[in-house]
Amino acid sequence: MTPVLMPIISNGLRAGGFALQTKSYRYDHYWRWQPELPATTTADHIDLVLVFGARSFVDHIEPFGQLARAFPEAVIVGCSTAGEIHQQVVEDETLSVAAVSFERTGLRVASVPISAAHSSQAGADLAAQLMEKSGLAAVMVLSDGLEVNGTDLTDGINATVPDGVVVTGGLAADGDRFESTWVLVDGKPASGHAVAVGFYGDAIRVGHGSMGGWDYFGPERRVTKSAGNILHELDGRPALGLYKEYLGELASGLPATGLLFPLSLKKPGESKSLVRTILGVDHREQSLIFAGDVPEGHTVQLMQANFDRLVDGAEGAAAHAIRNGSIEPSLCVAISCVGRRLVLGERTEDELEATKQAFPGSMVQVGFYSYGEISPYAEGTCDLHNQTMTLTTFAEV
């Protein structure tokens, strides 16, 4: 689509206190930067640059160097996507960028190699690096979306950071291809890594909200055999075979078509449920591979899309973020699941418009479509979610 030329969007000082400032930029291979990046000698001080872009930028890294030259003092982090969110628009083969300056908030970045087998330790190591600096208030984590067990990653972080530290983020994506993802490490895209940014001090205010909007169908089934994020059996039957029965003709398109039918996961005796999305299949073992754990003894139920409820879910996520954030934000990082985009199709931007309209008009919204979303369920420690719209808002007092 032809990009819309727009001025830099920012928030200035709020009456009665400090406010962080946010500017948005967009890059594509034809139009290049819109608006133009500032010359270093004239640039405002920028502390944090968030970059969300297509997987193909792993072979086209010059824009990352341009960001580093324009904002030499900034922490630059980001990841690959299944669609880049820029304000209320979703695009492909672009970079969506937010450049943020803080008045009274400190930053620190950490990075670690990651694999599915060692995700818990990776999460603990990330958190430990951030804990070397005192006053940690919030964490945003971005991880390779394929070489990871998202549940273990969040468990490792939760076990290390103090109570009250807000942890949000997401898993990098690669469209509906599931081949390779990247995160920025030292300003360059790299696979097999996770990165985290720590926010420090008592001025930062981070809001968060995460909701789905899917409908349940079919019977509840018990997980009778699993190993971490690999589901082998449901009610004693091979998981892949049972899942294919529900998908019918769509089964030939796995794992991508599995995004249309996620699983609701619930621990016995609890009302809280999480959603799990398929990342891969093992035909020989007749098993399904998910972004997060599917523990034995839990119950699962298939879910399917309801267009209006998905958009309502995005609105609900915004309402939670506003309530948790308490003051008007300058920046909203929107991380929605690739499965939602596949289902919504041409209506994808409906959910982005719903979240953008819930906040002040001057707020910058950037983000990406992901392989997993990280956020507290409502409050407390973070969880790995799938098929949700997850929002993180930032403001200063």
- Is pLDDT above 70 for 235? yes
Residue 11 inside a domain? The answer is no
Q: Distance between CA atoms of 25 and 145, rounded to whole angstroms?
A: 24
Residue 65 inside a domain? The answer is yes
- Closest-CA residue to 199 (of 46, 355, 48, 328): 48
pLDDT digits (tens, 9 = 90+) for 236-263: 999 999 888 888 888 888 888 888 888 8
Is the separation of the CB atoms in 302 and 239 below 8 Å?
no
pLDDT digits (tens, 9 = 90+) for 348-360: 999 999 999 998 7
Write out the E strands in 212-306: 215-227, 230-234, 237-238, 263-266, 273-276, 278-282, 287-290, 299-304
**pLDDT value at position 11?**
36
Residue 167 inside a domain? The answer is yes
**pLDDT value at position 274?**
85
Look at residues 304, 322, 347 and tell me which one is the last residue of a structural domain.
304
Q: Distance between CA atoms of 264 and 301, rounded to whole angstroms?
A: 5
Neighbours of 102 (CB within 10 A): 23
Residue 10 inside a domain? The answer is no
pLDDT digits (tens, 9 = 90+) for 307-316: 888 898 899 8
77 & 141 share domain:
yes
- Closest-CA residue to 122 (of 77, 146, 155): 155
Find tokens 């980001």 and name the residue: 78
Residue 12 inside a domain? The answer is no
Is the separation of the CB atoms in 185 and 68 below 8 Å?
no
Residue 8 inside a domain? The answer is no
241 & 147 share domain:
no
Residue 14 inside a domain? The answer is no
Look at residues 266, 288, 304 and tell me which one is the last residue of a structural domain.
304
Q: Distance between CA atoms of 125 and 113, rounded to whole angstroms?
A: 10
141 & 256 share domain:
no
Look at residues 304, 330, 349 and tell me which one is the last residue of a structural domain.
304
DSSP conformation letters of 85-142: EETTEEESSEEEEEEEE-SS-EEEEEEEE--GGGHHHHHHHHHHHHHTSS-EEEEEEE
168 & 288 share domain:
no
**pLDDT value at position 43?**
58
Is the separation of the CB atoms in 84 and 95 below 8 Å?
yes
- The percent of the chain in helix, strand and coil, each rounded to the nearest 5, is 25, 40, 35
**Structural domain count, the chain:** 2
Residue 381 belongs to domain spanning: 21-211+309-396
- Is pLDDT above 50 for 18? no
**pLDDT value at position 132?**
96
**pLDDT value at position 8?**
31
pTM: 0.85
Is the separation of the CB atoms in 201 and 279 below 8 Å?
no
